[in-house]
Structure 1
Amino acid sequence: MAPIQNSRVIFNSIPEGYPVPGETLIIENESIDLDNDPLGGGVLVQIVCISVDPYLRSRMREPHVPSYAPAFTLHKPIHNHAVARVLRSENADVKPGQHLYGWFDFAHYQIVDAEGLKRMRILPEGSGVPWSVYVGVGGMPGQTAYYGWKELEPKKARRHLSGETIYISTAAGPVGCTVMQLAKAAGLKVIASAGQETKLQFLRELGADVVFNYKTADLDDVLKEHAPLDIYWDHVGGKTLDTVLPRMKVHGRILIVGHMSSYNNAPDPVYNLDRFLALRIKMLGFLVIDHDEKYSKEFYEVVPGKIARGELKYNETVVRSLEEAPQLILDVQQGNNFGKAVIVLADD
């Protein structure tokens, strides 16, 4: 077969505010020979689906600016968690036709060397779960929810969570809706917010006790009626966190898993830090990678089966071309997607 063009999403410029499709991210092609390009002991894969997550915006920055994830390299492809099918292999442990989960470029095809394969997971075939789910509630977002929930669970056998109250901000996404279902199964009262009526209805269907539109309702008014909170699961930070702090219970717990309010704007100040002392609040900054060794085996034994049996519900916003990726990334920043945002490039 003659070489073909391989489309890739390139980090073209550092944005101020929201990323601009066609400026911040552009589409470029490279030539790839699917039959003859050397693999270096690795594999050639076809990308099946790629995750689009809010944190991607935090990587579109100058490399010297500190953060928990490295900055994307200008004029190089961006990358994220994805599922890919093996086309050719020079590795005895990986066979053509198998599906891998790991870090891949926003591209149609990619060569992964032997070192890169060490960080990949071979996914089970015939699990009854669509491949796209393995980048959503069956992948990193679901792991964030599951691992974080495990960290919140009482360590003493006599304690339990039933009867406690949790508030989950931006709860209709893949992390939030998974946490919400775990919380309801554990007997908690769940307060959940989202920014669109369709998302609110989804949360009602999942069993949330209180739902509200954070764009139109006053958060403090909602919390005055339904707080105090035992747990706040925070995807937002800034003013939302500041409003929540006085509404926590003594010895309340806050899990910080995202900071959407500052991805495209300067961070809002938090004034109510004295509440940490007065209420003896515990707050944990949570990154899924810190807990993978502890919980990943259990996650893959438990969660895909729950999804296949319909015990864990989810929604997806799907686009089917790399050309649509820059707009989808912007939509996620502006909250215009519903559920997990995913780029599906192949169906097998």
Structure 2
Amino acid sequence: MAPVTNRRLLFNAYTNGLPQPGKATRYDGSQTIDPDTVPLNGGFLIKTLVLSIDPFIVEKMRPKTPGAQLPAYTIGEPIEDYGVGVVLRSENPTIKAGDHVYGVQGGAYPFAEYVIANDVTQYRVLEKKDKLHWSVYVGTLGMPGQTAYCGWKEFSKAKKGDVVFVSGGAGPVGSLVIQLAKMDGCKVIASAGSDEKVAFMKKIGADVPFNYKTENTADILKKEGGIDIYWDNVGGATLEAALDSAKLGAKFIECGMISALTSYPQGATRNLFTIIPKQITMNGFVVSFLVPKYEEEFYRVMSELIASGKIQYGEEVIPSLELGGEALLAVLTGTNKAKVVIEVAKE
């Protein structure tokens, strides 16, 4: 085979705010690769099919800092997230040509059409369920789904009749939390930032879906009589409203605080003292620490639920790696319609 273009999305410059396409990130089509002859040095060659766009990407667009939870990107190298690809060639006995692999270690799958990999521990060979597109494996069957499933199972201790509030309820994490809570017999209040997203939350079972841009979160929570469990994807003023409306002994599951990534500057949470008299349990978590405990259960249970249609999901497929910078900005500003995935190539 003659050399082909290895399309990439590169980290271009540090950012102090929202990452602007063409500035923080840069599309590059100058690199070429010959898939038939490129040296593998004991590794395997992956053709990327789909890539995930997740908010944590922006946390890695900073100078390298000792002790940071997430490793920083290197300027001039591809940004990274979770991805699925097909193995074209392999010199590793545990991975064979034709295998479909999911990059699992901390979202360290390079944004490149062709990837030469050596560390098999960074990849999981996938068993595809009929009719499911590979994009599902970076969404509801990938890190976002694992985040929702592992966090809910570990921390919610939900009881039938509990009132659950989910912020960011139309996203890939929040939408699965809504459905898991309904399966446990809970009443679910859920917020999102557009009427289209509200309609999706209603479709998947939310009892009280609302648009936080047109309705007051505190008023909605007060009207519904308080909450037993809060799944937090947002932080900021939404967290304050949840604290005010928490019942005695409420459980707060702190999954993310996207407001801290997109709103500058951030002030202190004014009512954090509420945790004490209300005896609120607040758990922050990083999904990678929980995955070993739940991984096999997750794939066994969720694969069947999704394939059968009992769990629903939404996707917004971006048809080109060249649009990756715009896709990231949409996720961070909430203008995306559903879970954003980039379709890099067909099989």
TM-score by length of 1: 0.95
8 Å CA contact 2:10, 2:77 repeated in 1: yes
Distance in 1 between the 2:345 and 2:171 partners?
23
- What's the counterpart of residue 123 of structure 1? 126
2:187 aligns with 189
Hey, what's the Cα distance between the residues in 2 that align with 1:66 and 1:168? 31
8 Å Cα contact 2:156/2:229 also seen in 1: no
Aligned to 1:326: 325
Does the CA contact (< 8 Å) of 1:262 and 1:268 recur in 2?
A: no
Q: Determine if contact 2:156/2:251 at 8 Å carries over to the other structure.
A: no
CA distance in 1, matches of 2:220, 2:190: 10
Amino acid at match of 1:12: N
Distance 1:260 1:125 in 2: 32
Identity %: 42
Aligned counterpart, 2:12: 12
CA distance in 2, matches of 1:184, 1:207: 7
Please report how far the alpha carbon of residue 333 of structure 1 lies from its aligned counterpart in structure 2 after TM superposition: 0.6
Superposed CA RMSD: 1.4
The residue aligned with 1:144 is 147
1:125–1:234 CA distance, 2 compared to 1 (3 A): closer
Give the Å deviation of 1:42: 1.0
Number of matched pairs? 341
Give 1:152-301 correspondences, 5 Å limit: 152-154=155-157, 161-264=159-262, 265-301=264-300
| One-letter amino acid of the counterpart of residue 229, structure 1 | I
Equivalent residues of 1:6, 1:30 under 8 A apart: yes
Structure 2: gaps spanning 5 or more residues: none
Between 1:165-174 and 1:30-39, the stretch displaced more is: 30-39
Residue 37 of structure 1 deviates from its aligned partner by 1.3
| TM-score using structure 2 length | 0.95
Unaligned 5+ segments in structure 1 are 155-159
Superposed displacement of residue 10, structure 1: 0.6
TM-aligned CA distance change 1:218 to 1:67, over 3 Å: farther
Quote the offset at 1:5 in angstroms: 2.0
Any residues of structure 2 matched to 1:31-110 within 5 Å, and which?
31-64=32-65, 67-102=68-103, 103-110=108-115
* SS of 2:2 mapped into structure 1: coil
SS in 2 for 1:279: coil
C-alpha distance in structure 1 between counterparts of 2:75 and 2:344, whole Å? 24
In 1: Cα distance, 2:96 partner to 2:66 partner: 40
Moved more, 64-73 or 312-321: 64-73
> CA shift at 1:3, angstroms?
2.2
- Note if contact 1:87-1:97 (Cα within 8 Å) is conserved in structure 2: yes
Aligned mates of 1:126, 1:305 — CA distance in 2: 8
From the superposition, tell whether residues 324 and 128 of structure 1 become closer, same or farther in structure 2 (CA, over 3 Å). same
Q: Using the alignment, how far apart are the partners of 1:140 and 1:98 within structure 2?
A: 20
